[in-house]
Every structure is written in C-alpha cells, then in structure tokens.
Amino acid sequence: MTVSVVLASASPRRTALLNQLGISHQVMPVDIDESAWPDETPNAQVARLAGEKAQAALTRLRQAGELTASTLILASDTLIAFNGLSLGKPTDKEDARRILTMLSGKQHQVLTAISVANAERSVTKTITTLVNFASLTNAQIDAYWETGEPADKAGSYAIQGIGGQFVKSINGSASAVVGLPLYETRQLLSEFGVVE
C-alpha cells in the first residue's frame, strides 16, 4: 500500500525540508489557536500544538470524505523557550525588540515537536536544540526588524535567514531549528511505513 503523506503546514521551510528527505507529499495548512494554556510548559505546549495540527488535518480530510487508510498526516510546531517561558512570534516591533533583547548574549532552547498521525494512531515527539546567541545592540535589532524577517518567526529570528548571523553556536538538530528535524522525522515516518 502506498502511503499518501499530507504536511499540515503552510511553511515553505518545512516543505523544503520534507523534499530533502525525498518524501512526496501534499500541503494542507491548518489554522488552530496557538495560545498557551495557563501554567503550560513550553515542552507541553509545543507537543500539544503539533498534535492539534495533525488532528485538525485528519478531521478536515474525514469531513471531506478524503481520509483513507493510506493517509498519513505530518504536523510540526516550533517554539523558543527561555527561562521556562515560551517565546512565540512577535506581535509587533516592540515585542520583537523585547524578545531579541532577552535572547541577546544568552542561550535558549528551540523546541520542535513533530506529530505523525493516521486514522488509527498518532505519535508526537519533541526535539530540543540549544542555541547560543550573540550580544545584540539596539541598532542591530532595529535594522533586523526592518528586513521584515522577524515578524512571523518564533523567537523573532530565522536561523536559515538573516538572523543566522546572530547565532554563535547550536547544540542539536539544525533542521529542527528551521522547523522540521530531518533525522527524527525520517524515524517517525519509518515507524508508519513511509520510508525504510
């Protein structure tokens, strides 16, 4: 049986990473409330959001009568965690400045959860990568904001873009920081019979 993989994401970065694995797939963006629950840890939040995205895609396919036994959903979510707090996408320039100032010269965690689900079961796994940030000046932060890149990025930066110049080092999965950990994604897809 050939498995039909559906990527529950609008992220071109996740699509490109899945293409790197040679996995043919269709893209189905889903829209869920990504707000944190009260007292929810970053680890719990990122895993819940990846799982909810997968379930939202399954529900949409089921309601459209398009869910088959060979359909497999892959969903992912990425959060920045700093001192036990989740840092999502900035709301505006001031929020981006606050976030980047907080990360400046310090280490933070990038948490990426991947969820693979079909009509029978789902598995979610979270990958943690440590990122060491350079010290940033206010002028650097303002100039970076003006590029437009930080506006829709968790933690207000993109390691694969202009923001990569601020990353001194990483310990863990580089692809997880971009949005889809290649090794762990391949392992999970293998569990579901997509790849060897």
Which residues are part of the catalytic machinery?
Answer: 77
Distance CA 154, CA 144 (A): 15
Q: Confirm whether 196 is domain-assigned.
A: no
In a domain, 43, yes or no: yes
Q: Looking at the 3D structure of the chain, how many domains does it have? A: 1
**Residue 152 lies inside a defined structural domain of this protein:** yes
CATH number at residue 69: 3.90.950.10
pTM given for the model? 0.92
- 103-115 per-position pLDDT tens digit: 999 999 999 999 9
Structural domain span for residue 114: 4-191
* pLDDT tens digits, 99-153: 999 999 999 999 999 999 999 999 999 999 999 999 999 999 999 999 999 998 9
